[in-house]
Amino acid sequence: MLYNKIKHGRSKLISNYGGVGSLIETQDCSVIIETFDNWQYKDLSNKLSSYIIKDDRMLTRLRNRFPHLRHIVKIPTEKNSLVDQVRPTANYFSKWFYCPRCNRFADYDEMKKRWVASGKKIDYFNPPKCSNQSCREEALEQVRFVMTCKDGHIHDIPWKHWNTYIGSEETDTEDEDSEEENIDQKPKGPQIDMSALCCESQDLRYEINKENTELTGIRVVCKSCKSVRTLKGIFNYQADCSGQKYWLGMTNGKWLYENCMQKTKVVVKTSNSVYYANCLSSIFIPIGQQDGRITNEIRVLIDERLESGEFTNEEIIKNISFDFKIPKEIIKGYIESGNEATYIPEEVFRKSEYDYFLNGEQPESNEIKFRLIECENKVPGFSKLVKLDKLKKISVQTSFTRQEPIDVDSILQEDNAYEYTVKRQSVSKNNFDTKLLPGIESFGEGILFVLDEQKLGDWELQAEVIERTNIIKTNADNSTWKYHRIIARSLTPRKILTHTIAHLLIRELEYVCGYPASSLQERLYVGDKMNGFLVCAFDGTDGYLGGLSDLSSDLENLNVIIQSAIHRANDCSSDPICIDSDGQGISQLNLAACHSCTLTPDSSCELSNLFLDRKLIVDENYGFFKTILQVF
């Protein structure tokens, strides 16, 4: 449904801000992306092998939460939709539309009925148009207000009942036309009678006063009974959630739903709080992988025989070994790998990548190409660099939440260890029993920067450094979001330092090398035995041309770039306000860091542009790179 509306590229279908269950704005209307179960992967049979992404290390990690998972499958391209009929599907949301000319206001089904009743062909209805002859098939517009709940459901406001206002001073308090409120507070706002309509012959209009930009300038009017109700107080409206799951599509003509005990919150449909994707990513390394002789075709064949129940494991091993001349031990290892289910924290998962790039050897497969560069005493503050001429990143969406994000370690946690009040909604109709998960395989380049461990160890023991870290941790503890409080538990001086210098270098590469900051990404490697960060660019961005990794070949030039980044960080146009700040940004989780000096595009940052402090870098007394500034 509506595949022709989804022209946003594969990266928009799996990212921190988009995916199954998200709202995507198209040229005509906004749509909600449906579960990948509806994308026709199930009809591929043997062709499924061409969609499989091979990363068994990631697959093993995912099986902790998805015990029956067999494959990560690629997001289909436009070519796939034509050849194999595999395509993303979506449906319109919000489902209430109004005509900009005649102001008629009704849901999608009602507008479609009127279109057919007027004698027009249904094939010409999409994108939705007004059926009134005087409107000349004017394109309809959607209302911009929706409701979400903590369990991940999304609904339209009950507009049919909006004019059945129950008057009371307590239920009509003036809000501040803002959706930024504590979602745990029970708001006082407009209450409506859900048992009745304003009249028996309801005929609604959605009128917008162009001279009044407040919510009181938007009115819902019934043309039949003349009842009128503005949108005053709409952000304080609260209702019982009906549990609709529009992203799962329709079954037997009805939208799927589940019982829900939560209350809904009204937001603008473009608000960040409408959707938070729970994605995991992996940099491919040849560790924890199956033998290369287990091709995608053989994987599909083994899985088909296992699912059929017609063969025992021993028969499958024997037959596959004979047909493809593969040792039985290798086939047995692949079959038994499906039984592995161990919870792997993000830090442990990334430690494998970090150790491999610093200690491993270039694999023969050439799926990745890298070279270790010793730079101690050559690049101040750093001991090693890893030039990554070719790397492969796999991103997988497992679930999503609404109203509040969750930290990456909580994505795969069992329910008894899960600490959040927001619910993780699966991207599959089969919930956590799915056998497939959607993913994206991206190829790119980058540089892994490793900070000097000895210098870092001495630096992070300074009282001033610890004090500034504790300021951020205290601000996080006072945040209304559980996400901030959980992240702050593992917050250390080296994490803030590493994160901040990664931002400064991304910004500097944009100035010096011509890479737009939005095309670069950070990947932090921080822990007790990790002290580095990866700056990388992938296909589909401006950076995958070899220009980024080549910078590490000339240490003298790279040194100039790093020094320039430090000097820029010492001079913010918002100083002295920024440099002396005790907290700025969301929940005051940044200290000396603002848009003028440190922040990067959201797509570049792993921590939502939070937990940053350039003063830890440039302060003349305790800054990690203070020696660079003292030279000049």
pLDDT at residue 353 in the model: 96
Determine the Cα–Cα distance for residues 284 and 360; give it in Å rounded to an integer. Answer: 13
**354/381 same-domain check:** yes
**384/513 same-domain check:** yes
Q: What is the pLDDT of residues 201-220, one digit of tens each?
A: 999 999 999 888 889 999 99
pLDDT at residue 560 in the model: 92
587: Cα within 13 Å, side-chain hemisphere: 25
3-class secondary structure, 409: helix
pLDDT at residue 548 in the model: 87
Q: What is the pLDDT of residues 398-433, one digit of tens each?
A: 999 999 999 999 999 988 889 999 999 999 999 889
Q: What is the pLDDT of residues 24-58, one digit of tens each?
A: 888 888 999 999 888 888 777 778 888 899 999 99
Q: Is the distance from CB of 7 to CB of 26 less than 8 angstroms?
A: yes
Q: Is residue 267 part of a domain?
A: yes
Is 0.85 topped by the overall pTM?
yes
Q: Is residue 117 part of a domain?
A: yes
pLDDT at residue 311 in the model: 87
**233/381 same-domain check:** no
pLDDT band for position 367 (cuts 50, 70, 90): confident
Mean pLDDT of the region 472-495: 95
Of 216, 242, 276, the position where a domain reaches its end is 276
Determine the Cα–Cα distance for residues 217 and 312; give it in Å rounded to an integer. Answer: 70
Q: Is residue 9 part of a domain?
A: no
Q: Is residue 236 part of a domain?
A: yes
Domain enclosing residue 270, as ranges: 145-276
Q: Is residue 66 part of a domain?
A: no
Q: Residue type at 570?
A: N
3-state secondary structure 537-549: EECCCCCCCCCCH
Q: Count how many domains the chain has.
A: 3
320-359 burial, b for 16+ CB within 10 Å, e for fewer? Answer: bbeeeebeeebbbebbeebeeeeebebbebbbbbbebbbe
**529/570 same-domain check:** yes
**451/597 same-domain check:** yes
Q: Is residue 88 part of a domain?
A: no
**138/151 same-domain check:** no
pLDDT at residue 631 in the model: 61
Ranges of beta strands (E only) in 2-60 are 23-25, 30-33, 52-53
Cis previous bond, 286, omega within 30: no
**152/136 same-domain check:** no
Which residue, 345, 340, 355, is CA-closest to 287?
355
pLDDT band for position 175 (cuts 50, 70, 90): very low
Q: Is the distance from CB of 143 to CB of 128 less than 8 angstroms?
A: no
Q: Is residue 334 part of a domain?
A: no
Determine the Cα–Cα distance for residues 332 and 314; give it in Å rounded to an integer. Answer: 9
pLDDT at residue 403 in the model: 94
Using the predicted structure, report yes or no on whether residue 540 has a pLDDT greater than 80.
no
Task: Tell me how far apart the 2 most distant CA atoms of the chain are, in Å.
Answer: 82
**243/353 same-domain check:** no
Q: Is the distance from CB of 86 to CB of 44 less than 8 angstroms?
A: yes
**121/185 same-domain check:** no
Of 276, 303, 336, the position where a domain reaches its end is 276
Q: What is the pLDDT of residues 437-467, one digit of tens each?
A: 999 998 999 999 999 999 999 999 999 999 9
Using the predicted structure, report yes or no on whether residue 597 has a pLDDT greater than 90.
yes
Of 124, 142, 160, the position where a domain reaches its end is 142
**132/218 same-domain check:** no
Which residue, 619, 606, 506, is CA-closest to 565?
506
Q: Is residue 36 part of a domain?
A: no
Q: Which residues contact 381 (CB under 8 A, 6 or more apart)?
A: 451, 452, 455, 562, 624, 625, 628
**120/191 same-domain check:** no
Mean pLDDT of the region 1-28: 72
**117/206 same-domain check:** no
As to burial, measured by CB atoms within 10 angstroms (0-12 exposed, 13-18 middle, 19+ buried), residue 217 is middle
pLDDT band for position 304 (cuts 50, 70, 90): confident
